[in-house]
Structure 1
Amino acid sequence: MNNPDIQIRADLSDCTDIHVLRETVARFQRIFSGSGYGFWEWNLVTQRIDWSGGFWERMGYTPEDEVHINNANNIWMYIHPDDHQASTDSMHEHFRTGKPFSSFYRVRMKNGEYIWTQVRADSIRDEQGRVIIMSGVSFDVTALKQAEEALRESEARQERIIQSSNDGIWEWYAQKGGFHFSSRCWELIGFDANDDEITQGEDKIVVWRKHIHPQDLAKFDQALADHLAGKGPFDLEYRLIGKDKALHWVRGRGRASFNAEGKPVRMSGANMDMTQIKLAEEKVIQAKVAAEKANQAKSEFLSSMSHELRTPLNAILGYAQLFEYDLNLTQQQMTNMREIRKAGDHLLQLINDVLDLAKIESGKMTVSLEPVLVSRIINEAFTLVQPQADARGIRLYSTTQSFDGHYVVADNVRYKQALINLLSNAIKYNNMGGEVEVKLQLLDSKTLRLCVRDNGKGIPANRQAEVFQPFNRLNAEFSKIEGSGVGLVITKQLVEMMNGRLDFQSSEGVGTEFWIDLPLASEWNQQQTEIIKSVDYAPTQLAFANHKHVLYIEDNPTNIRLMQQFFERHSCLSLDVAEEPFIGIYKARSSQPDLIILDINLPGMDGFEALTVLKNDSMTKHIPVVGLSANAMPYDIERGIKSGFFEYLTKPVDMNRLIETLNRIFLG
């Protein structure tokens, strides 16, 4: 018989369990709804899916859509078409193996957009092992997928940048140990990443160091060690021996990361191929060395040529000058000697032209700009070239009367030199009996053009581009016309140094016209007195009468005889000669001359060394020393002045300049 009390207690207990169960279900429903996840159960027999958790609500669907969504046959309408096959394959794999189901696919929202969802599920099977119920959860992983996509894009972008830069990438991790080199690192030195030498199992840094040039290995190790010790950046150019045994230059740069204790934990870097740059640098250096050698060879040639030509010219012009002191010569004899001197001066001018070119090329030619009266320059130039014109029957004339008072801004000496060069060429390359005209014209209110026109053979059109090339005489070197081929080059550069312009026009068979454009000198006092200079061969006179003893240290007999004859013509001067520098120093100490004239090229000791000895000797340091040498290059003259010579005279000796020097020394 049943006990009523026991039955009542049982009923109360059941009521309590139902209440607890309902509260538990309610709590889980609140959790599911608040999570935003989709909790579902799919009955494969009825093809119904029961959803909870608010998954579809978050995608914009309403309770009215629930009937359609709960039908498993409709679920594929919400999955992105591109993801159907992958989802189906994953489900079949779960049915076949029983492993937990996991899949990613895109689900269509109410507004037509798609989000990524991850689905995880498991299933219940019947006695035959067929799946009858699947239970799982779906949750939004769109943010994760976007992050993954951004990461892939970033990696792809970095990969593209790395590939386009042609650099190799390397990394080192303290925890993993060893270095990782990208395949491009090995390609830089001719290897493939699959070569046996690269894949033989050794630490890659060991393999890499084997290919570093022995002379650069210590430098590489030290730079890496210094950087890992925090002593500076790792940025190093070094050589590697490639697979082809050739040298490859790389520039390795990297940066390490350090932990809180200051110890390196990671280092990343790149290797840049510098081989072509280094080869180009080497070619530039070789070209520079070759150019310097060529320039040195040219300077040595010019110096040697100048010295060798000046030495015989010293005798020619020196002895010609001595005849100026002979009062018993007839007028015809004196005229003949002056013709010899003019020819010598012309040859000397050719030598100076070459030296002027060297000065211009070295940047040591200078000009002094001032207002210059153009008519005076033309008159002086005509005086100097008239004998040349007369010898070939050339009519030389000017049509400049209306410009007699015009000034230009120029260097007086260089302007005249430029005009003489143009006149000389117009005469040399003209026909016998031709004409040369000089005319002036105003281009505008600021520029005056000086033109030199001839009616010679003209310059062929196909050769006109070569006119201003040095040493190019347009085949005139095979004619009897004298010249060095540098006159026009010098003239052009001199005109440009004076802020002017030189150009020409020529017609074959008609003639050639060159012109110089220079700026006018504004507001210049045209009434200013002009000192007209001209060639004057009259000898300069000594300005002192008391006796002076001069020591001449020279080893060339011709030069010695020339100087002896010059001193014989002056009673107040006596000359002592020493043909060796050691003898000259001895005579200077013993005879105490008033002046020493010192050659530079001497046997056993050159003139600069002898000067140093004389200046350092207390017995001779007070004696003025004048240098006299055929070494007449600009750097020779500059060196002579800086070395301590009172004056540095060049051969052929200009007797008037020598007398002027003597006057300055003994009257100073």
Structure 2
Amino acid sequence: MIEHISFSPALQLSDDIELLRTTVGRFQRIFNGSGYGFWEWDLQTQHIEWSGGFWERLGYGPEDAESISDASKVLTYMHPDDREFAIEAARQHLRSGKPLDVSYRIRTKMGDYIWTQVRADSLRDEHGHARIMSGVNFDITEIKKVEAALRESEARQVRIIQASSDGIWEWYADRGGFHFSHRCWELLGYDDLDDVLTEGEDRLKIWRKHIYPQDLSKFDNALVEHMAGRAPFDVEYRLISTQGEIRWIRGRGRAVFNEKGQPIMMSGSNMDITEVKRAEERVIQAKEQAEKANRAKSDFLSSMSHELRTPLNAILGYTQLFEYDGNLKTQQIDNVREIRKAGEHLLQLINDVLDLAKIESGNMTVSLEPVLVSRLITECFTLVQPQADAKGIRLSSLLAEFSNTYVIADHVRFKQALLNLLSNAVKYNYVGGEVEVKLIAQPGQQLRISVRDTGRGIPLQRQSEVFQPFNRLTAENTNIEGSGVGLVITKQLVEMMQGYLDFTSAEGMGTTFWIDLPMATEWNADSIVRTSTNKDYTPASLNVKRRCKVLYVEDNPTNIRLLQQIFARYPQLELDVAEEAFLGIYKARSTQPDLVILDINLPGMDGYEVLSVLKNDPDTRAVPVIGLSANAMPYDVERGRNAGFYDYLTKPVDIHRLIEVFNKLLHDH
């Protein structure tokens, strides 16, 4: 008996449906990923069913689905100039039965147009009537650009050649080589009739033979990278003409790629930039000369600072010594302090010039942080109060609701800027006048700190000169002290802190300067402590009881005598002097001093070399060494501290500062 096996029709149908779903899903993914538009047009219902990402790439979304599915409405997306042509092509297809192949422009969601190519065929009934048309749309914008470029090639070359002296070149993959315009060959010194151009040799090879050998790899690499689609073709290189002249060329070009990413053509130009390169060389030379001049200026300022500080060391040093004598009369003490004030003013003028040079060279930096404005105003008032009291000028501040307001600034530089404005407001004010500081909110979270005086004001015709360095606006004809660089420094400091400085002035009525700085988040202000208003000229106290040996290595007799007289006032300190470097090293090794004071500018061996010897010698490496020099440029101080000096003091020597160092280094054990 033969047993029959039967299959369930329902099970078979289910498998077929699942297979169909899988296949449809796969094709749907392929369609959507291609960016093409696959469609079917029911000619009876005029409904178009779309697949793929074509319309999405044009910017359309689900809200546009109804329009693009209606055959009559789809026509409105076509460029008006292409509409009739596309309709006629469809009619020809329906009449002839030949596949439809037509290109037209179609509008994107943004309103511009791209080129699309349509290929389609129809499903017809037994009578030959088309019922359903199926096809595909794909973007051929780039191809159209290539076609347009090819059509315009000759005309473009003519126009460019007529309007420019640049050489034009083109390359076509299907023509096998480069075409160079006559101007390209002129750059090399050739004539169109030269035999070398008519022998059929590859013209790119001829061109490459004239490329400067060191630039050949750069040219080749730029071309290869561009042809691979990795970088634009824009390269500068040198050519050697037939006469041996070297000329600079800037070659720029752009390749056109097919759908496979393969270059099919490339057009470009050769610009003669020889004169530009020569101009660049002149600019570089000028820049080098400017840098050289700037270095010379810095050297001059450093030398000037050193030369002025050396005599100031004696002036200020000896005036400080008088203050240590207890037998001077009050009038004599006052006279000495006037000398000291004048010397300190001269020192401040030197520092102002160095500050200006530091800003101009870009070597000054700021550290921005929240700064409590009210406290800073109090600190500055404290410093200018004696100056104001001497002229009977009243200082006042109007803080309003900003007593706890912070701004973003560099505390030291902000204080320097505000102090300079206040000092000027007092200096250029009338006796019995007024100086007012006022805080005002400005748009953009800015706080304005204004300084108003009731002084003589600035003439309108001179106000444009306010921020010119060394211009004192006729104040040089008065007894008012100044260098003419304070406002220049102030303006640049404020701008370095991302602030703004300006002023208004009326002659005979006064001047108002203001600083605008960005406000910061508010903090609770600590209690503001008013400090003493007078500079302390009281002789410093040496807190050293034991006997200490100090070695001073210095070649300037005046500086030596000054330190000898300073030390004479402190019997517990024994000063030994070495007037040249080698003797100083010998004495340091043999006497083992407690401290070495070392000048930098020594004959034969400078202070840094002496310091290095002392630090590398086991017998002296533990001896602290401080630098004392008239080299006071910022980089001098920084270099000194980095070199290993315990401290780096500048001349003129400040006896208070010197005694502070002694107290730290020579304290009793």
The TM-score range, normalised by the shorter chain, is 0.5 to 0.7
- Mapped to 1, the partners of 2:351 and 2:204 lie a distance apart of 66
Aligned pair count reads 520
AA aligned opposite 2:436: K
**Deviation of 1:210 (Å):** 5.5
Per the alignment, residue 393 of structure 2 pairs with: 396
CA distance in structure 2 between the aligned counterparts of 1:418 and 1:289, rounded to whole angstroms:
33
Out of 371, 378, 382, the position equivalent to 2:384 is: 382
Distance 1:337 1:215, change over 3 A: same
- Give the SS at the match of 2:661: helix
CA 1:168–1:558 in structure 2 vs 1: closer, same or farther (change >3 Å)? same
Instruction: In structure 1, give the amino acid aligned to 2:333.
Output: M
Query: Which sits farther off after the overlay, 204-213 or 318-327?
Result: 204-213
Q: Give the deviation of 1:659 after TM superposition.
A: 0.8
> 2:657 maps to which residue?
657
Contact 1:167 1:272 in 2 (8 A): yes
**TM-score (structure 1 length as normaliser):** 0.65
Q: Which residue in the other structure is 1:473 paired with?
A: 472
Query: Is the contact made by 1:406 and 1:520 (CA closer than 8 Å) also made in structure 2?
Result: no
The answer to whether 1:513 aligns with 2:512 is yes
Q: How does 1:68-87 map to 2 (within 5 A)?
A: none
1:616 matched to which residue of 2?
A: 616
Cα distance in 2, alignment partners of residues 355 and 313 from structure 1: 16
Structure 2 equivalent of residue 504 of structure 1: 503
Deviation for aligned residue 1:563: 0.8
Once the two structures are overlaid, the 10-residue window that deviates more, 544-553 or 499-508, is: 499-508
TM-score, L = length of structure 2: 0.65
Conserved in 1, the CA contact under 8 Å of 2:210 and 2:240? yes
Find the counterpart in structure 2 of residue 9 from structure 1. Answer: none
Alpha-carbon distance in structure 2 between the residues aligned to 1:653 and 1:173? 81
Q: 1:168 & 1:405 partners in 2: Cα distance?
A: 68
Contact 2:452 2:510 in 1 (8 A): no
In the alignment, what sits opposite 1:181?
179
Q: How far apart are residue 595 of structure 1 and its match?
A: 0.9
1:325 aligns with 2:292: no
Structure-2 residue corresponding to 1:558: 558
Distance 1:468 1:243, change over 3 A: farther
8 Å CA contact 1:317–1:344 kept in 2: the answer is yes
1:149-198 superposed Cα distances (whole Å, 9 cap, x missing partner)? 9997451245567776966325598997xx64320661672768635476
Q: Secondary structure at the match of 1:443?
A: strand
Displacement, 1:533?
A: 6.1
Letter in 2 for 1:189: L
Structure 1 segment 401-480 matched on structure 2, within 5 A: 406=403, 409=406, 414-429=413-428, 434-444=431-441, 447=447, 449-456=449-456, 458-474=457-473, 476=475
Instruction: Tell which structure's C-alpha radius of gyration is larger.
Output: 1
Alpha-carbon spacing, 1:653–1:172, altered in 2? closer, same or farther (3 Å)? same
User: How far apart in 1 are the matches of 2:501 and 2:220?
Assistant: 62
Q: Deviations over 1:365-388 (max 9, x none)?
A: 44665435366335423334248x
1:620-639 deviations in Å (ceiling 9; x for gaps): 11111101111111111111
- 1:517: Cα distance to partner? 5.2
Is the CA contact 1:185–1:271 (under 8 Å) kept in the aligned structure 2? no
Provide the secondary structure at the position in 1 that maps to 2:323: helix
**Secondary structure of 2:434's partner?**
strand
Distance in 2, Cα, partners of 1:470 & 1:579: 41
Would the aligned equivalents of 2:428 and 2:455 in 1 still touch at CA under 8 Å? no
Q: How far, CA to CA, are the matches of 2:462 and 2:533 in structure 1?
A: 38
Counterpart mapping for 1:117-266 below 5 A: 153-157=148-152, 168-169=168-169, 171=171, 180-183=178-181, 186=184, 189=187, 194=192, 196=194, 199=197, 201=199, 203=201, 204-205=203-204, 207-209=206-208, 211-213=210-212, 216=215, 237-241=236-240, 245=245, 247-251=247-251
Q: Does 1:362 align with 2:363?
A: yes
Alpha-carbon deviation of 1:664? 1.0
- 1:77 aligned partner: none
Letter in 1 for 2:288: V
The aligned counterpart of 1:273 is: 271
Describe the superposition over 1:342-394 as per-residue Cα deviations: whole angstroms up to 9, x where unpaired.
1111111112222233444423344665435366335423334248xx4xxx4
Q: Could you tell me whether the CA contact under 8 Å between 1:552 and 1:578 is conserved in 2?
A: yes
Structure 2 partner of 1:56 = none
CA drift at 1:665: 1.2
Corresponding letter in the other structure for 2:363: S
SS at match of 1:296: helix
Q: Report the AA paired with residue 646 of structure 1.
A: Y
State whether structure 2 residue 593 is matched by structure 1 residue 593. yes
Long gaps (5+) in structure 2 = 1-86, 93-97, 105-116, 118-142
| TM-superposed deviation, 1:541 | 1.0
Aligned-pair distance for 1:317? 0.6
Worse-superposed segment, 446-455 or 584-593: 446-455
1:580 and 1:602 in contact (8 A); partners too: yes
Distance 1:436 1:198, change over 3 A: farther
**Percent of pairs with identical residues:** 49
Q: Pairwise CA RMSD of aligned residues?
A: 4.9
Does structure 1 retain, via aligned residues, the 8 Å contact 2:436–2:452?
yes
User: Are 1:307 and 2:309 matched, yes or no?
Assistant: no
Structure 2 CA distance, aligned partners of 1:486 and 1:354?
Answer: 7
Distance across 2 between alignment mates of 1:375 and 1:581: 48
For 2:5, the equivalent position in structure 1 comes to: none
Measure the CA separation in 2 of the matches of 1:219 and 1:500: 46
Q: Structure 2 CA distance, aligned partners of 1:615 and 1:497?
A: 39
Q: SS at 2:393's partner residue?
A: strand
2-structure distance, mates of 1:448, 1:425: 18
Shift of 1:536: 0.3
Paired residues of 1:322 and 1:566 also in contact (CA < 8 A):
yes
Q: C-alpha deviations, 1:453-484, integer Å up to 9, x for none?
A: 1331x323343233223333345557665432
Distance 1:533 1:623, change over 3 A: farther
The one-letter code matched in structure 2 to 1:349 is: Q
Which amino acid in 1 is paired with 2:656?
N
Q: 2:124 maps to what in 1? A: none
